[in-house]
Structure 1
């Protein structure tokens, strides 16, 4: 909420001391209020005591007058004779003379007379009960809803013939007289009890102080209470000037305190503010010279901070230099080259990034060691840095140094640089010959990758083409991101059914029936449509997805073969296995365990080049697979660099002639001679021969005449899903069988077919 320390300090100190002042003022106010309440309460109690004494005095006077009246001889005789007029007149004379509010005579029979009235009244039962219980009853009596202080005295003539009751009214005047007796301006009221004798006092009004004293009832009649109220505001009035003075002093002291705290906080936080500004300058890379004229702890902190800032600046320069330098060769590194590329002005005519690599550096390092190789790269980099046609350099790989050159001079300038720096390099007194290759890219032309990476790709493209200088070929590079996406889709396709196996029959030309099928991958991509197997299988080999793909194929082929066998078609299943997996012993262990007892019903088709990378392990694994009963077939024979030595070493039972020889096959053609010689060679090595790409009856006729064992192609049947293959087998393949057999030449004319 508050961004400045001085504001926080000001509020902290000012607020704390302000709270102390407010607390003191509050305590004073509470103390004064308590004192006022105590004093007023004492006054109210004293007033109540006075009124209680007045009550008793008034009661004694009334009792004396009543007793005097009851002893009067003439009055007693009038009462005894029930002379109502005389009794009423006597009562009236005495009431006027004594200043009484009301005067009554109650007869033994419950009738009554009031002073000044000649008619007879009925005495309330409660009053009658009171005088019967106590001849000299006294206390609070309600007459016609008005409260009176009443006393009674018996009239004896000589026996009791009635009672005299005198009552003094407790009206507003009486209460005002009581209020006037108090030294404080209070208000008095009488609260009578209800019929049950309970006195329900009204709630104390806000700002009032109350005291009360009980009043006795007339005889057994309900009593009441005298209630005295006094406003607290009036009680606090004498203290108001003092409280106002305290409030002004507290407010003034708080203001002075806040101002002083602000000045003190500002003095304390000024050096800290300068430290904060210096920190921001360091963060933005601006040199800092902090000078705080204080000699206290903050001043020493500022001096230490200034020293730290200078040390950080030196370390930052050192780190920056290290970040732009290769630690092994002390040449500028890839980051330095990127930095130079970022600083290129696009209006300068364009630049090329060239990746110059030393060929066979791994073999050189094996011969001379890592340290000497680092020295070799450092010397080579120094040559490039000193070349007049080159620009900024940077080592971008262990055997590659990047350099920037103008686009305007074309590739000829790169060729000239290679010629100028390719002479032998002396390392530890020994001359080492170097051969150089270069990959080039025009910065900003394609933007497929970073300029350095495009140059590195161009270098690899040139080495694969055996070109000394190669310009980045974007078409050859293709779309690796699309490849990754395709592989991700392939993993999904294995589970959602878009990738499936199709089966193509292999027709046994000697038996005249289908005795085996080949499992072929098919992919109906939901977006790309039909994806060629050659494309995604190749990508799977490059990205490492070939193993899970091959495992899925073997498991699916096994399950489908069991379905065919259950329907009465116990066929041998041929499955293509990537050459990369022939050296993967763990994969072959899995495959043998997966096929288990059905190994003799499977054939693994491999290419003859599958053993080139590691012939020893590949051939050993082939022998192991063959030992458990899985047949080996050499696939696509003749499509690559066929080698008789590998053909001799690979222990295969089947040789498949590539369809490229078959599609254009004619009698007496060179393809026919090659196929015939291959068939004879395979037979001499103990292998059967399967010919792919059979699409016409004439080709089938020729292959039969040449001695081929198995034919496979569209003329026999196209690849079909499992359901279609089952239909094909259930139909017995009779139409195709008849056409095939009808096309077969007899043994007598096979030779003429060649």
Structure 2
């Protein structure tokens, strides 16, 4: 250590090295309170004064300077009194005591005299322990609900809060140490409680005066001062307090399913990860095909389904499993199981339980579940990454088609980090204006003339090359960057189209996420004003995924865009659940037949029939019909023969940058495109 003299005897140096290996701070003083020896941890704890430590210097002097530096907040305004009391404690050591530092840390000090009249002091940073104690005390002592801490093995009351003493009339001294059966004489806690905390039970409790009161009791396991205990909340359920009881319950539980909510889950996860030797698994569950239930039967039946899912989860879980609903169709289970085989059996049981047919009223419903499992300590999970790592495994299960489970693997984390890097790269591309626009022609099938170009966002990554739009657009939607990309594409496409012939339009795809931001209409209006493009030359394409939301914002925004003069098209028509019903919800100008039907047009009579039906439907509703994915002349001829107005696909041209269009590269193969 740098503070020791070079000529210090080797035995003392050896002692110093041993002390440096200790996690506690150690200091040795002579009979006059002068420094003889200290270890690294001691210097780290008192880093604000460590520069003052020197052999032979008095502790009292370093404390005095530390006070002047503001290191000891408790000394403020009474410096000499505090210093005198501190030195008296050193010279007359007794029980260990706590010391607060300005940076918020709490240090436990234990000092003893040595045989030669000197002193040895031990310093332990107990900040985290105090924070946990204070958090518990805040939730316990000041809680308006009467609470008891009851030892699991003996049934003795270990602690009560003030609400309990007020309600029951016991003083803490008379109830602590007594059996909980004195309060609850006819029901024993161990026989009535679900460890998940999602169930409640009714009991008759006896107050100090002998009065019997009806209570609703809630309990969960917790360690308390080194003992295994129950935390029992007992709420008077008379009429005047019933509403208060329900509010207390709902603060920690999901109002629909009765399971623990996210806040309660966060508390439990913190408790488990803070354990000295954490050993548990987190099971993340996402329901497969749940969205189709809401779409088909409506949200009220979706809610009833979630209630049944919660009931089945309770049925397959044990008393030591903690179940929570995080929101939507997301559930998690904290379980003490860590053995891979038993965890696999557990996950498989959940898959099977949730896959059984549901009968709700007259409706039969079938869903499944994708499950991700992460284990502590093996997977290195923390409070911050536990859900993320379990979800990485869940996404792998969902990518395999769902109705299965996956365990977290380190490679998943690598993939996640790669995705995070891609997010950052995309943000950089947006900031550096490296999102470009390519255009693909839409052709009148009768005349062969180009009537429009569809604007398509493109991103050329400096190392990965062109990133598929299906990848980076989905990423932008998930990260909230799609609104900015949409604005960039809108302004560039309108500016480019303003230079084209007046009878050539530009078509731009809109993401459902853009509608939620509330700025879409303003962005479109601004792009038209900046470019000078007439609104009637702008086509805005949406998919039925947007109409699934059917919110007032979506409908009002569509009408506002139509009010500008822009045309509205439904893209990928025929692939969704309720495409026909959506044609009644908004007067579209155009519907675009999905490429899957066009691809099978020549080989499938069903596809041909569907295309013919869509064309006839569009004609009857006054909507123009465009076919996507035309790759050969035969498909173009068939579509033309069936009355389809417009076509788009590689047969007419691949997406190209605007420079290629304006240089006449497309004009060579599509001679009908001429400048006005």
Shorter-normalised TM-score: what interval?
0.5 to 0.7
More helix by share: 1
Q: Which residue of 1 aligns with 2:438?
A: 502
Partner Cα distance (2:659, 2:131) in 1: 74
Q: Which residue of 2 aligns with 1:577?
A: 510
Larger-gyration structure (1/2): 1
SS of 1:700's equivalent in the other structure is helix
SS of 1:507's equivalent in the other structure is strand
Q: Does 1:404 align with 2:404?
A: no
Structure 1 residues 619-698: aligned runs within 5 Å: 619-666=555-602, 669-698=605-634
Q: Which residue of 1 aligns with 2:543?
A: 607
Structure 1 residues 666-745: aligned runs within 5 Å: 666=602, 669-728=605-664, 733=667, 735-737=669-671
Give the counterpart of 1:335 among 270, 287, 290: 270
Whether the 8 Å contact between 1:336 and 1:394 is mirrored in structure 2 is no
Whether the 8 Å contact between 1:333 and 1:396 is mirrored in structure 2 is no
* Structure 1 position 493, deviation (Å): 2.0
What do residues 355-397 of structure 1 show as CA deviations (whole Å, max 9, x unaligned)? 589999x999x99xxxxx9xxx9xx99996745xx6xx59795
Partner Cα distance (1:711, 1:686) in 2: 18
Length-normalised TM-score, structure 2: 0.52
SS of 1:511's equivalent in the other structure is coil
SS of 1:582's equivalent in the other structure is helix
SS of 1:662's equivalent in the other structure is helix
Q: Which residue of 2 aligns with 1:121?
A: none
* Structure 1 position 288, deviation (Å): 5.2
Q: Which residue of 1 aligns with 2:525?
A: 592
Give the direction of change, closer, same or farther, for the CA distance of 1:687–1:437 in structure 2 (3 Å limit): closer
SS of 2:436's equivalent in the other structure is strand
Length-normalised TM-score, structure 1: 0.47
Give the counterpart of 1:487 among 423, 431, 434: 423
Q: Does 1:354 align with 2:283?
A: yes
Partner Cα distance (1:313, 1:601) in 2: 67
Partner Cα distance (1:438, 1:664) in 2: 32
* Structure 1 position 724, deviation (Å): 0.4
Whether the 8 Å contact between 1:356 and 1:438 is mirrored in structure 2 is yes
Give the direction of change, closer, same or farther, for the CA distance of 1:286–1:419 in structure 2 (3 Å limit): farther
SS of 1:333's equivalent in the other structure is helix
Q: Does 1:272 align with 2:272?
A: no
* Structure 1 position 8, deviation (Å): 7.6
What do residues 157-207 of structure 1 show as CA deviations (whole Å, max 9, x unaligned)? xxxxxxxxxxxxxxxxxxxxxxxxxxxxxxxxxxxxxxxxxxxxxxxxxxx
Partner Cα distance (2:399, 2:137) in 1: 36
Give the direction of change, closer, same or farther, for the CA distance of 1:281–1:358 in structure 2 (3 Å limit): farther
Q: Which residue of 2 aligns with 1:159?
A: none
What do residues 257-290 of structure 1 show as CA deviations (whole Å, max 9, x unaligned)? xxxxxxxxx9x96753566995589999879598
* Structure 1 position 437, deviation (Å): 7.7
Whether the 8 Å contact between 1:519 and 1:573 is mirrored in structure 2 is yes
Structure 1 residues 293-442: aligned runs within 5 Å: 328=252, 333-340=268-275, 342-344=277-279, 352-354=281-283, 386=319, 400-405=332-337, 406-413=339-346, 439=371, 441-442=373-374
SS of 2:336's equivalent in the other structure is strand
SS of 2:420's equivalent in the other structure is helix
* Structure 1 position 318, deviation (Å): 6.2
Give the direction of change, closer, same or farther, for the CA distance of 1:642–1:276 in structure 2 (3 Å limit): same
What do residues 320-359 of structure 1 show as CA deviations (whole Å, max 9, x unaligned)? 6879799948997112221358444xxxxxx644358999
Q: Which residue of 2 aligns with 1:560?
A: 496
Q: Which residue of 2 aligns with 1:424?
A: none
* Structure 1 position 644, deviation (Å): 0.8
Give the direction of change, closer, same or farther, for the CA distance of 1:516–1:578 in structure 2 (3 Å limit): same
Partner Cα distance (1:736, 1:358) in 2: 49
Partner Cα distance (1:675, 1:705) in 2: 11
Give the direction of change, closer, same or farther, for the CA distance of 1:338–1:696 in structure 2 (3 Å limit): same
Give the direction of change, closer, same or farther, for the CA distance of 1:355–1:521 in structure 2 (3 Å limit): closer
| Long gaps (5+) in structure 1 | 13-265, 293-308, 345-350, 368-372, 421-434, 739-754
Partner Cα distance (1:315, 1:534) in 2: 47
| Long gaps (5+) in structure 2 | 1-51, 65-83, 115-124, 140-221, 224-230, 232-250, 254-263, 291-298, 354-366
Give the direction of change, closer, same or farther, for the CA distance of 1:665–1:269 in structure 2 (3 Å limit): closer
SS of 2:608's equivalent in the other structure is helix
SS of 2:418's equivalent in the other structure is helix
Give the direction of change, closer, same or farther, for the CA distance of 1:472–1:623 in structure 2 (3 Å limit): farther
Q: Which residue of 1 aligns with 2:469?
A: 533
What do residues 677-716 of structure 1 show as CA deviations (whole Å, max 9, x unaligned)? 2111111110111111112111111111111111111111
Give the direction of change, closer, same or farther, for the CA distance of 1:287–1:556 in structure 2 (3 Å limit): same
Give the direction of change, closer, same or farther, for the CA distance of 1:478–1:278 in structure 2 (3 Å limit): closer
* RMSD of equivalent CA atoms: 5.3
Partner Cα distance (1:447, 1:290) in 2: 40
Q: Which residue of 1 aligns with 2:159?
A: none
* Structure 1 position 608, deviation (Å): 2.3
Partner Cα distance (2:652, 2:511) in 1: 26
* Structure 1 position 664, deviation (Å): 3.5
Whether the 8 Å contact between 1:333 and 1:394 is mirrored in structure 2 is no
Larger mean CA deviation between 510-519 and 551-560 belongs to 510-519
Partner Cα distance (1:318, 1:668) in 2: 71
Partner Cα distance (2:92, 2:462) in 1: 65
Q: Which residue of 1 aligns with 2:71?
A: none
SS of 1:708's equivalent in the other structure is coil
* Structure 1 position 606, deviation (Å): 0.8
SS of 2:629's equivalent in the other structure is coil
